[in-house]
Structure 1
Amino acid sequence: MIKLCGFALSNYYNKVKFVLLEHGIPFEEVFVKPSQEEAMLEHSPLGKVPYIQTEQGDLCESQAIVEYLAARFPDKAIFSADPWEAAKERELITFVDVHLELTVRNLYKEAFFGGTVTDATKGRVEKLLVHHIAGFKRIAKFGPYLRGERFSVADAAGYASLPLVGMATQTIYGRDFLLDAGVDWKSYVKAINSRPAAQRVSEDRKAAVAASRPA
């Protein structure tokens, strides 16, 4: 059985977990936090989560994991059978993971963890995000899903990461860049939450948040 290693506060862990749950792939969760200890680096070369353990070995990076699952379980149809649709799903995932989340991640230290971010970083992130969100709007349909009326694997990425973009920018700049651009991520998340897999991911994340708070 596949072991999914990480923790429920990680959006990329939740992206992979959503895919596993949505497609009924058996897996076991193993609580692991990021670390630079050698024991961790033997499994995940940068000490990040998530990673999975399989009978063939370890695999890290959320998108590589999703691609592996799609190839290992072709009957699950994780990506569309149509080559164009599958490519468009991957395009959306790249926009969410790389152009949006990876950019806004530079703000997390101050937005979520009580640290500080330099004004130079805030200015650079703002310019990039405004540009990247405008591009994202050109390809995301929100009808109600990212590709339109049909739920796709791209929505696992969108569900896990778009709220972080909205919340981080609201905290740092006093305005939600997604909502300001007309991307109603709150209604989108609400639509996704009708799915049992999303409900499980959300419930486990909320429980992890509650457990992480001081008594």
Structure 2
Amino acid sequence: MLKLYGFDVSNYYNMLKLAMALKGIDYKSITTYPNQTPEYLAICPTGKVPALLTEQGVLIETNVIMEYLDENYAGTQLYPQDAYSKARVKELVKMIELYIELPARRCHTEAFWGVPVHDTTKKEVKRALLNGMQSIARVASFSPYLAGKEFSAADIFFLYSADLASSVATKLFGIDLLAEAPGAKALMDKLNALPEVKLIAQQRREATPAFNEYLSKAFSKN
């Protein structure tokens, strides 16, 4: 049986949970926070999450794992079959990660846990998020899904990246980030209405107190 290492508040972990739910994949969830213990480093060389243990070995990096799942399991198709359409979905996934998720992550500590971020960093993040969402608006179709008529991995990445980035943009900059991409709000509403997404959101809420306790201890050591 597949084993998925991570925790229910992690957006990357939840991306894989949704992919596996939509594909009907049976797996064992092993709650794991990022750590550098010898035991976990023997499983995941970076100490980060998520990590997927397969019969052949361990895979890391969410986009890599998602492609593996799509190629090896039935259920909802996450990537198109033809080369060009598949490349376009991968292009959107990469853009979301580089220009939405990663910039926003630089301000997570202040937006979500009240740990201040330098003003210069915030200025850089604000500019990056606006540019990133505007770039995605020029590439994505939102008709109704990010890459067109069919649901894809790009929608999963958008769902769990744009929600956090939008919160950062609202809390720190007073910006409605989704408004920068016409169709983005409608897509988010459509995705959030999925029963699998609702269940993951509930599990995330239930796991938040334990995660906050973990963070409190981590911050106190710094």
TM-score, length basis structure 2: 0.87
Q: Say which SS state the counterpart of residue 126 (structure 1) adopts.
A: helix
Task: Please tell me whether residue 87 in structure 1 is matched to residue 87 in structure 2.
Answer: yes
Whole-angstrom distance in 1 between the partners of 2:57 and 2:36: 20
> RMSD of the TM alignment (CA)?
2.0
CA contact (8 A) 1:53 1:59 kept: yes
Whole-angstrom distance in 1 between the partners of 2:134 and 2:47: 33
2:173 aligns with: 173
2:21 aligns with: 21
Q: Say which SS state the counterpart of residue 59 (structure 1) adopts.
A: strand
Greater shift in the superposed pair: 97-106 or 127-136: 127-136
1:94-152 deviations in whole A, cap 9, x for unaligned?
11112110111101111112211001111111222222221111112222211233211
CA contact (8 A) 1:44 1:60 kept: yes
1:4 aligns with: 4
1:70 aligns with: 70
CA contact (8 A) 2:104 2:168 kept: yes
Task: Please tell me whether residue 37 in structure 1 is matched to residue 37 in structure 2.
Answer: yes
How has the CA–CA distance of structure 1 residues 100 and 58 changed in structure 2, closer, same or farther, with 3 Å as cutoff? same
Shift of 1:164: 0.6
| Number of residue pairs the alignment of both structures matches | 213
Shift of 1:76: 5.9
Whole-angstrom distance in 1 between the partners of 2:143 and 2:78: 20
Whole-angstrom distance in 1 between the partners of 2:10 and 2:195: 19
Where does the alignment leave 5 or more consecutive residues of structure 1 unmatched? none
1:115 aligns with: 115
Whole-angstrom distance in 1 between the partners of 2:87 and 2:136: 15
Shift of 1:91: 1.0
Q: State percent identity of aligned pairs.
A: 33
CA contact (8 A) 2:134 2:181 kept: no
User: What pairs up with 1:140-151 in 2 under 5 angstroms?
Assistant: 140-151=140-151
2:57 aligns with: 57
CA contact (8 A) 2:133 2:181 kept: no
Greater shift in the superposed pair: 164-173 or 199-208: 199-208
How has the CA–CA distance of structure 1 residues 131 and 76 changed in structure 2, closer, same or farther, with 3 Å as cutoff? closer
Shift of 1:7: 0.7
Whole-angstrom distance in 1 between the partners of 2:50 and 2:138: 30
1:202 aligns with: 201
CA contact (8 A) 2:178 2:185 kept: no
Shift of 1:50: 0.6
Where does the alignment leave 5 or more consecutive residues of structure 2 unmatched? 214-222
